[in-house]
Amino acid sequence: MDGMNPFGSPIPGETPLNDISGLKIKGINERQELNDYEFRNIARASKKYLLGKPSRRLVPFDLSWLRKLHFEMFGDVWEWAGHYRVSETNIGVNPVQIETQLYTLLEDLKAWQASDVEMLEQCVRLHHRSVQIHPFTNGNGRWARMLGNIWAKMHRQPIVAWPEKVIANTSPERDEYLAAIKEADDGNLAPLIEFHRRFTD
């Protein structure tokens, strides 16, 4: 156990969960138990947005909705769900830049659509940039992957069947995913596009 954190040290590529004071469910003592609660919360959001084609009214893709989505995915488990982080993390922009960077991303998304960027690449760019910005205390990767899938679903495109329980733990797939994210950080989207394509329904 690391200090007051019962979930131990983060695995490679994971944002450290140093403060668990915002945990709504008391008595959780193991990482897997926490993961199970989060997966159930996320599953409800998935049903809302991914079972059919979501409307623009349901999914306006504005700043308020980006925060709402994170709350819907994690709000049953964490007090800080849907709130921008206020401290530096191991990855992500400075907290004071979060809202500006997200606004720029949404404007870029409109530009990608207007310039006929392939839909799969739009989803990959959206996913990757959202991870880079890292707006929230935790859950950013899962939120970013959901964003990409919702964007695809809105445009009647197949979604990525992410192996979330595999990616959430040390595994070859997680290592490959993180390597693809790093390549995208350096300007090479090809590995991340291929990773998306492999798991696309």
pLDDT, average across residues 181-200: 97
Structural domain for 131, as ranges? 31-198
Residue 23 covered by a domain: no
> Using CA atoms, how far apart are residues 75 and 81, in angstroms rounded to an integer?
5
Report H helices in the chain.
31-50, 63-74, 98-114, 119-133, 140-154, 164-167, 172-185, 190-198
Domain tally, the chain: 1
What CATH number is associated with residue 183? Answer: 1.10.3290.10
Q: What's the length of the chain?
A: 201
100 vs 137: CA distance, rounded Å: 17
Summarised one tens digit per residue, pLDDT across range 4-20 is 455 565 666 666 666 67
Q: Give the residue, 170 or 152, on which the prediction is more confident.
A: 152
CA dihedral (117, 123, 126, 132) positive or negative: negative
Distance CA 187, CA 201 (A): 26
In a domain, 149, yes or no: yes
In a domain, 60, yes or no: yes
pLDDT value of residue 32: 86
The pLDDT of residue 144 is 98
Q: Would residue 26 count as lying in a domain?
A: no
Q: Structure tokens of 143?
A: 């939120």
- Express each pLDDT in 85-135 by its tens digit: 999 988 999 999 999 999 999 999 999 999 989 999 999 999 999 999 999
What per-residue confidence (pLDDT) applies to 2? 36
**Cα dihedral angle (167, 172, 173, 178), rounded to 10 degrees?**
80
Q: Please report whether residue 62 resides in a domain.
A: yes
pLDDT tens-digit series, residues 27-71:
888 888 999 999 999 999 999 999 999 999 999 999 999 999 999
- What local confidence, expressed as pLDDT, does residue 21 receive? 79
Residue 186 included in any domain = yes
Token look-up 């008595």 returns 27
Classify residue 5: in a domain, yes or no: no
- Average pLDDT taken over every residue of the chain: 92
Residue 6 lies in a domain: no
Q: What is the pLDDT of residue 168?
A: 85
Whether 136 and 80 have beta carbons less than 8 Å apart is answered as yes
